Structure 1
Amino acid sequence: MDIASRPSEPAENPKTADAAPPPHAPQVIRREDYQPPAWLVPEILLDFRLGLESTNVTARLSVRRNPDGNGSATLRLNGDQISPLAVRVDGAAVNDWRLDGPDLLLPLSGESHQVEIETHVNPASNSQLMGLYASHGMLCTQCEAEGFRRITFFPDRPDVLSTYRVRMSGDKTAFPVLLSNGNCESQGEGEGGTHWAEWHDPWPKPSYLFALVAGDLIANHDTFTTRSGRTVDLNIWVRKGDEERTQHAMESLKASMKWDEEAFGREYDLDLFNIVAVSDFNMGAMENKGLNVFNTRYVLADPETATDADYDAIEGVIGHEYFHNWSGNRVTCRDWFQLSLKEGFTVLRDQMFSADMGSSAVKRIEDVRILRSAQYPEDSGPLAHSIRPDSYQEISNFYTATIYNKGAEVIRMMRTMAGPERFRAGTDLYFERHDGEAATCEDFVKAIEDGAELDLGQFRLWYSQAGTPQVAVDLEHSGDRVVLKLAQVVPPTPGQPEKQPVPVPLKLALFDRETGQHRGEELVILDKPEQTFTFEGYPRAPVLSINRGFSAPVAIAFERPAQDLVFLAAHDDDPFARYEAMQSLVVQHLIAAVGGSLGEGARAVERDAIGQAFKAILADDSLDDLMRGELLILPAEGYLAEQFLVADPTAIHAEREALKAWLGSKLKDSFAELHDRVSAVSYSRDAAARGARKLKTQALVYLAAGAPADAKRRAIEQYRQADNMTDRQGALMVLAGLEGPERREALADYHGRYSGNALVIDKWFSLQAGSLHPDVLTHVQALAEHPDFTMANPNRVRALYMALAMNAKAFHAPSGEGYRMIGELIRQLDPINPQTAARFVPSLGRWRRIEPRRAAMMRGELERIAAEPSLSRDVLEQVTKSLG
């Protein structure tokens, strides 16, 4: 799963004995304080009497004292904004329970009991979308991380594993489809137009994996035959009318199942696999055992409404949630500090899957781009944390790029050091040892260590230390000897002022300048503050290609002349290293330009070098268009800002746009020819056609900067002739940033064409909020008042405001209006959906890395948010750390 949250206010009850901490003094949960549960729940029976505004829940828990627990005679059952209607123990009503804040405490003697609790919830009023909630007439659940306690009282922690039996009953017209985890064992008709269904999941699971869906749905049905010959029924459930847009998701699911058998030896373990698409969902998807619940954006696709990027995202997220069946469900995490145990490992698995399904080179570049844009800023900011945190106040705030993406990179490094076969031996051992258990990150590392026969003692520091290691590189050549000097430092982060060196596996190659060849790739491991590596037999000074394939998630500091980078951009046989050379060539130029150290002569020389590299890429027939497209992308403004201790967003934007305009003007004819060539490629989903569409929009982007009149003409034509969303959206993106009536006409046409299609209208909001138009802030203000905008739907909120927060020019407007708009959004959204609100805080939390005048305005917005009297734990923790 991507992110989960839980509400912050305890339920009021006259039997509350000990008040919960006030909102502005949240409890800090520490990893070192972990204790096994005092009581286990081997079995639970749930009976739901369903209604949109009134659902009654009866939970029957078989509880057993844990021999490894602390011996407490009190059973603590977590709750959140619920009150018990009745409590029974072994069939008899009891009154000796009490509430400790939101939790129910029940004294028990003996070793085992049957505990029955009745609760009532109102799904329609659940705007936080955690627990049981209503979405457009449908009932669904989201329980990770701690949403189950909003449904019934339970030891809501991942190390309490139970088998679940679920009975649901409700109005047959409102809820003709009743789904839960596992297999449907029986169903029938009830009285008064109701019906019921009973489900059983035979695999013990933690409460965060419980799921229920009830609604008027239709399924795309298929089957998959496992490698052992079992037939698995597959269903993707959607609202009527959407079923024709589910085929890509179904194909992705079957491909995921086959790939996991082949790549990791993991076979699916139930006879049924259900996916449900939900339009109101806090994040991407949830891996509930046998019943995955997905945001509609990661299920629905056809060429008319989904871009190529949408297709890729669906494939990746479908794979991610399916792979959780083993790396997360069959082996779950002991506590939430171990979240990267399941998420980091599963991200690596979905990255490998997507690489095998398409272009591995392009996929690797995309993964690194995400890491650098989302995780590197985390590592260098006030919210920095290790991939196995030591403490938290609100667990939803730790569903981060560090846990997911850096966690995946850390495991990928183990695979790099072990090699694919030995790494597979380690993962096989991990699943063998811990199947059916709640495990820890240490359990995973130990299995890889034993199975792959690696010494990972020092490597464990990657799990406990925050921060992106900085690696300084120096290359010396004398005679026929090359000396490579490496030095590393892990910068201080909050709570960790001093760091130890970590093992950094670096793939490298030494290229001969004349032949453009190298003798083979080598792997060196930097595990000390400074190390020297010597290479013999190089009569000419070679060109170093380092961190090939992005073998380690580090920042490389290596001053190289522009001609070396141009050489690597033209000759490097490692696709990522070739991309990195192009990025470094541009980054070095822009850093110098922003810093004011470039005279006009030097600026012209460096631009010419970049132009020559671009020309070589445009003319290189050995490149496929997907890879060509990656090489032509300029570094993002956010990544450029990370290169400065204190950044000036206006200067960065101006220099980047100036370079883009220069390239667009200098290479106008080449980009025009490119646009003509790729526009002639017919639509299909094969790699060649996808690459053509990628380049079509990129050519327009450069032409819009350097030859806007020609770009406008081409964009209008592309928009009108588009037979797919990739081309139409690409053209509209360019038009949205330009002046003139054509912009307004295209935006109106797009809205009218797709009115009623929520996912496409989300794109309409995002394109305008993320545009380069000089009046974008005025446009966002108007869009916030548009009839199609709602604060109740997380997709729509993110479409408008996350696009604004990621639009560096608009967000960092000198007036501070961008900061004010995001600050106001957080204050308004927090009472409705604190998890979504909290996701916007980090954009303001970067104030220390921004020039002083803007920094003061950003900090001021955080202070105004902090002054709100009833902030959720989600937002409060983020704001407090950002200000601290």
Structure 2
Amino acid sequence: MAGMQMLDARAATPLDIVRLKDYRPPDWLVPNVALDFDLDGPVTVVRATLSVVRNGLHDRPLVLDGSRLETSWVEIDGARVNATPQGDTLTLAIAGDRATVTSEVRIQPAANSRLMGLYASEGRLVTQCEAEGFRAITWFPDRPDVLSSYTVRLAADKARYPVLLSNGDPGVLEDLGDGRHAITWTDPWPKPCYLFALVAGDLVAREDSFTTMSGRKVRLAIWTAEADLPRSAHAMAALKASMAWDEQAYGREYDLGEFNIVAVADFNAGAMENKGLNIFNSKYVLADAETATDADFDAVAAVVAHEYFHNWTGNRVTCRDWFQLSLKEGLTVFRDQQFSADQGSAAVRRIDDVRGLRAVQFPEDAGPLAHPIRPDHYAEIANFYTATIYNKGAEVIRMLHTLLGADGYRRGADLYFDRHDGQAVTCEDWLAAMESASKRDLGQFRRWYEQAGTPRIEVHAARAGRILTVALSQRLAATPGQSVKPLMHIPFRLAVIGRTSGKRIGAERLVELTGPETRITFEGLDEPVLLSLNRGFSAPVVVDAQASRADLAFLAAADDDPFARWEAMQRLALDVLATDDDPAELVAAVGATLAAGEAGSLDAAFVAEAVLLPTEAFIGDQAKMVDVEAIHRRREAARTAIATVFEDRWWAAYRRHSGSGTALTPEAKGARRLANVALAYLVTAGSADAVAAAATQYADAVTMTDRLGALTALINTSTPERDTALADFHARFAGNNDVIDKWFTAQALASRSDTLDRVEALLGHPDFNPANPNRLRALVGAFAANQRHFHAASGAGYRLLAGQLLAVDKINPQSAARLAVPLGRWKRFDPARQALMRAELERIVGTAGVSKDVLEMASRALA
């Protein structure tokens, strides 16, 4: 792809902008690749043999990408050539239309702190190649539309690297003598180089098998350190469930004889879907009752499913270029959301999906970092692994499912796989398959791929006799680079709820909003009614509709759509917390929800979600300007009122739902969730008995859910029990990095007045390692989500974040760039805080040698 250099006005570092409109097919294809690795931590030797074929009629040379490679030699058809790399490219003139290009390079995995390419983690060698890590392994045309079949030979010392894994299926392990061995892996399915993987090290496997719908037996293995093996059982069960679900829901069968997962301690992201060899951040593989919360168990299952589902949505059918990233990520997130909903409580899962979208993606869409789910340019592709690409991308796929219906969507997906198996394709190819299968014109719907921003739906209703007329209008605000937005195609579900009966009247309506205003009528109404809007969160929009607090409280108690019911409670809370009014109406609505749970008409999991107040950050996102102190004061006052008014009922809920054991059924998880919500409210109410109950629960807990729930309940108190629990937690789980991350996060999110001082002290803790992305996110990332303390009026929180970002940038630019996001919201705050945040962004941009990753994010945040 062609690039254009742009010099940022505030920095001396050029940004090379890649644009979608400049896409050109690759000049050369590489049908077959043979890689030979002589593996060692300090220096690994890589010999690559590429069978290259000219693509089309042209005389352009073969241009290969590389990064930090020490090149020993290069051959074309067996003859050494005098090829000198120019920066990160190697240009080879080839006379014919076919050639065999062989190169040998030396790389240093143990010195690779960027965790891209081949690197060392706890003495093992691991790869991460998405998006552009393969070029740090060998010379190659590193772009997703070059698909190749791979043969990979791995040779290493037996004692240090007894297990040698790569993509595909293995050959016979060879004994090379002198304490060395080797194995060859063959992957027959053409794949882009970003899906290449290898792992070498001291590992043990939990093994199992799965018989596919066509009768093939697949060997399954999850590889971990020996001590961690017992905690891999849940991941294995999730893998088998995912394989069965994908066959049933999408007709997709696994296509190799082996499927391997490896747990890694040092990893930039959550996991990677490399063909047949998934490499996972250990926190998304390792789980047992003692060390993982129920949320962790759910996350493991979802991420295992996500990466497995990529075998078809990302691997067998892959992206033509990185602008199409949501084609695989948004689609696969939707698939893992479907899977998770089928495995547990669909209502609670949907609420969790929406809460996550609103917490991260909605602010992204409303700020300087806004971009469409298919962006039209980037400087560093790693910066576009965003909530917009993933979460909003999933919502766009969900809207297609809504518009076409389950059967129409499935026909479109089947056609997509049939048409494009083994190809690198675009979002347009996906939409074209949906159109062909459904016979529907999705031309206007394509704007979801092209336009940034969150649409707002304004709702106005007028009653005339027994007829209610509802007018729905849409608008989409300007975003960076997109000042004028054409109208969107929005599926919007709504219904009417009787204000007297509390029942839904008539059928739910699915309205397709395509024009500036759409009117619909509900007829034959014999009682006053209320509107139930955007049911199931049918579209990722903001709904502006007038409703009194009394009406919202009624819907929170009566709406038959779980999401809409939860949403009514959220709207009521936001309305109350936007003022200094007495929160009595909100308190009463919480009481009604508790009563419904006590009567058995609502399950415990839903009650636990419904009685939680919106976060301080989400409350701030709804305001034109964030008033940090007022939001904290009002929310704490409401929490205290809810806690004290219903103290007896919280005790009753706690006693009824605690002690639910270790089962992972939806019922047991719901009981634990509500018990811990009740305990938190009890501690907020301030009684010594509640603190004692939390300390007892902490000490006696048989699950991490209950132990961490107790610690979280105590974390904001000034009690000896808090200090005892914190010390015990660290001592009890010392050496378990995934659990110690929770210890750091609990303190970083505390609302106590000493939180900032505590976080600064924890930066010097022996267990804090900024080179480990999980630990960095656990402390610094969590602190940046603590609205009260990150946005301290002194600016100390901003200085802390910027300082950590600049330090980490020297180690791992990807991790550093992600820390810039919270500063990008500076325009939402008061002038004094704006100036402080902007100053830190300018400091970052003006720092000599700052990485391209960080420069792009900080520069865009300043725009």
> How would you bin the TM-score normalised by the shorter chain?
over 0.9
Change (3 A) 1:569 1:859: same
Within a 5 Å distance, the mapping from 1:16-415 to structure 2 comes to 24-67=13-56, 71-95=58-82, 97-415=83-401
CA distance in 1, matches of 2:621, 2:59: 50
CA distance in 2, matches of 1:779, 1:611: 34
Name 2:606's counterpart in structure 1: 627
Equivalent of 1:565, from 552, 555, 558? 552
Aligned-residue Cα RMSD (Å) equals 1.3
Secondary structure (helix, strand or coil) at the match of 2:32 reads strand
CA distance in 2, matches of 1:623, 1:100: 66
- Answering whether residue 524 of structure 2 is matched by residue 542 of structure 1, we say no
Name 2:635's counterpart in structure 1: 656
Deviation of 1:191 (Å): 2.8
Name 1:773's counterpart in structure 2: 752
Q: Is the 8 A contact 2:557 2:593 kept in 1?
A: no
CA distance in 1, matches of 2:612, 2:419: 45
Deviation of 1:854 (Å): 1.1
Deviation of 1:514 (Å): 2.1
Secondary structure (helix, strand or coil) at the match of 1:118 reads strand
CA distance in 2, matches of 1:399, 1:312: 22
Equivalent of 1:764, from 735, 743, 757? 743
Q: Is the 8 A contact 2:557 2:589 kept in 1?
A: no
Deviation of 1:197 (Å): 0.4
Q: Is the 8 A contact 2:597 2:603 kept in 1?
A: no
CA distance in 2, matches of 1:379, 1:298: 28
What is the letter of the counterpart of residue 320 of structure 2? R
Q: Is the 8 A contact 2:587 2:642 kept in 1?
A: no
Deviates further, 316-325 or 855-864? 855-864
Deviation of 1:103 (Å): 0.7
Within a 5 Å distance, the mapping from 1:564-583 to structure 2 comes to 564-583=551-570
Identity, in percent, stands at 53
Deviation of 1:704 (Å): 2.5
CA distance in 1, matches of 2:483, 2:823: 23
CA distance in 1, matches of 2:664, 2:449: 40
Equivalent of 2:651, from 643, 649, 672? 672
Aligned length: 853
CA distance in 1, matches of 2:584, 2:812: 52
Equivalent of 2:838, from 849, 852, 859? 859
Q: Is the 8 A contact 1:124 1:133 kept in 2?
A: yes
CA distance in 1, matches of 2:470, 2:110: 63
Change (3 A) 1:613 1:93: same
Deviates further, 37-46 or 729-738? 729-738
Provide Cα deviations, 1:290-312, integer angstroms capped at 9, x if missing partner: 00000000000110001000000
Equivalent of 1:528, from 515, 519, 534? 515
Deviation of 1:442 (Å): 0.4
Change (3 A) 1:154 1:608: closer
Name 2:578's counterpart in structure 1: 591
CA distance in 2, matches of 1:58, 1:664: 66
Provide Cα deviations, 1:116-143, integer angstroms capped at 9, x if missing partner: 0111000000000000000011001000
Show structure 1 runs of 5+ residues with no match.
Answer: 1-21
Secondary structure (helix, strand or coil) at the match of 1:85 reads strand
Change (3 A) 1:682 1:783: same
Secondary structure (helix, strand or coil) at the match of 2:144 reads coil
Deviation of 1:611 (Å): 4.4
Deviation of 1:99 (Å): 2.6
Q: Is the 8 A contact 1:186 1:199 kept in 2?
A: no
Structure 1 length-normalised TM:
0.95
CA distance in 2, matches of 1:608, 1:36: 61
Deviation of 1:705 (Å): 2.4
Secondary structure (helix, strand or coil) at the match of 1:516 reads coil
Structure 2 length-normalised TM:
0.97
CA distance in 2, matches of 1:797, 1:680: 34
CA distance in 2, matches of 1:461, 1:620: 46
Deviation of 1:554 (Å): 0.1
Provide Cα deviations, 1:581-612, integer angstroms capped at 9, x if missing partner: 1111111111233xxxx4xxxx3553454344
What is the letter of the counterpart of residue 479 of structure 2? T
What is the letter of the counterpart of residue 751 of structure 2? L
CA distance in 2, matches of 1:42, 1:683: 51
Provide Cα deviations, 1:628-669, integer angstroms capped at 9, x if missing partner: 111112112221111112111221121111111111111111
Q: Is the 8 A contact 1:570 1:616 kept in 2?
A: no
CA distance in 2, matches of 1:641, 1:303: 35
Change (3 A) 1:813 1:620: farther
CA distance in 2, matches of 1:105, 1:326: 34
Equivalent of 2:778, from 799, 810, 814? 799
Q: Is the 8 A contact 1:582 1:613 kept in 2?
A: no
Provide Cα deviations, 1:822-878, integer angstroms capped at 9, x if missing partner: 111101000101101111101011000111111111111111111110111110000
- Answering whether residue 795 of structure 2 is matched by residue 809 of structure 1, we say no
Change (3 A) 1:604 1:438: closer
Secondary structure (helix, strand or coil) at the match of 1:838 reads helix
Name 1:724's counterpart in structure 2: 703
Show structure 2 runs of 5+ residues with no match.
Answer: 1-10
- Answering whether residue 624 of structure 2 is matched by residue 645 of structure 1, we say yes
Deviation of 1:345 (Å): 0.3
CA distance in 1, matches of 2:498, 2:839: 55
Q: Is the 8 A contact 1:650 1:812 kept in 2?
A: no
